[in-house]
């Protein structure tokens, strides 16, 4: 990536992975447009503002993945966008039935904002490892290699009455469904030339 006054957007900037990325980008001299679900969350704002060079190279934007149109301002003028945000369970007032719907809508909207910006060269989308599995579809063992065909089985089941494991299966199922949906809809992850 080009340094200098290159602007980079990081969605979900206060998350574990995204905050580490923001810190590293700031240390390397990039200007970072960081999105947070709620700028009123002082602990998350302070975390990001505590990083080296944040006082001059960090710009915070409020953007919620359940309202994907909010990302346009943060993306504007950026050369690279790291989409790291992931949705929380939608409320009853949400336009989405579940997190999968929200995630698919968000990546489509963010990709459209990147294309519309005329400045974004690359959209880097992080996915969940929960959606990928080297297991053979029949569960008889592992595939020889891991590639884009390695999806977690949608009929994943853990023989346990433990609520945590049942919730985990639902989580893996939803993560896999939205990753497959994104892949099938051919969301363009590399934009522009070079």
pLDDT tens-digit map of 35-46: 999 999 999 999
What is the spatial distance between Cα 83 and Cα 127, in angstroms, rounded to a whole number? 9
**Residue 61 reports pLDDT greater than 50:** yes
Domain boundaries defined on the chain: 7-128
Ramachandran area for residue 77 (φ above 0: left; ψ -120 to 50: alpha; else beta)? left
Q: What is the pLDDT of residues 87-123, one digit of tens each?
A: 766 566 667 777 777 777 888 888 889 989 999 999 8
CA distances from 119 to 10, 25, 123 (A): 15, 18, 11
Judged against a pLDDT cut of 60, whether residue 2 lies above it is answered with no
Please check whether residue 74 is in contact with residue 61, taking contact to mean a CB–CB distance below 8 angstroms: yes
- C-alpha 112, offset from chain centre: 15
pLDDT tens digit sequence for 140-187: 777 787 776 666 666 655 544 444 444 455 555 566 665 666 555 544
Question: Rounded to whole angstroms, how far apart are CA atoms 11 and 180?
Answer: 21
Mention the CATH class of domain 7-128. Answer: alpha beta
pLDDT of residue 164: 43
Lowest model confidence (mean pLDDT) among 20-24, 123-127, 190-194:
190-194
**pTM for this one?**
0.72
Report the 10 Å Cβ neighbour count for 132. Answer: 17
Q: pLDDT averaged over the chain? A: 78
Closest to 63 (Cα-Cα) out of 93, 43, 38, 31: 38
């Amino acid at each position: 990536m080009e340094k200098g006054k290159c602007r980079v957007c990081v969605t979900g900037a206060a998350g574990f992975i995204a905050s580490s990325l923001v810190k590293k980008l700031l240390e390397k001299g990039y200007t970072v447009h960081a999105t947070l679900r709620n700028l009123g969350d002082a602990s998350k704002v302070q975390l990001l503002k505590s990083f080296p060079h944040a006082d001059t190279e960090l710009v915070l934007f409020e953007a919620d993945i359940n309202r994907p149109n909010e990302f346009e301002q943060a993306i504007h003028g950026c050369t690279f966008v790291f989409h790291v945000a992931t949705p929380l369970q939608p409320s009853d007032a949400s336009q989405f039935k579940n997190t999968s719907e929200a995630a698919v809508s968000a990546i489509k909207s963010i990709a459209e904002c990147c294309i519309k910006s005329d400045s974004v060269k690359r959209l880097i989308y992080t996915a969940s490892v929960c959606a990928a599995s080297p297991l053979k579809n029949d569960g008889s063992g592992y595939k020889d290699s891991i590639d884009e065909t390695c999806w977690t089985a949608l009929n994943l089941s853990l023989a346990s009455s433990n609520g945590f494991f049942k919730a985990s299966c639902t989580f893996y199922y939803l993560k896999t469904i939205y990753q497959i949906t994104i892949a099938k809809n051919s969301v363009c992850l590399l934009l522009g030339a070079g």
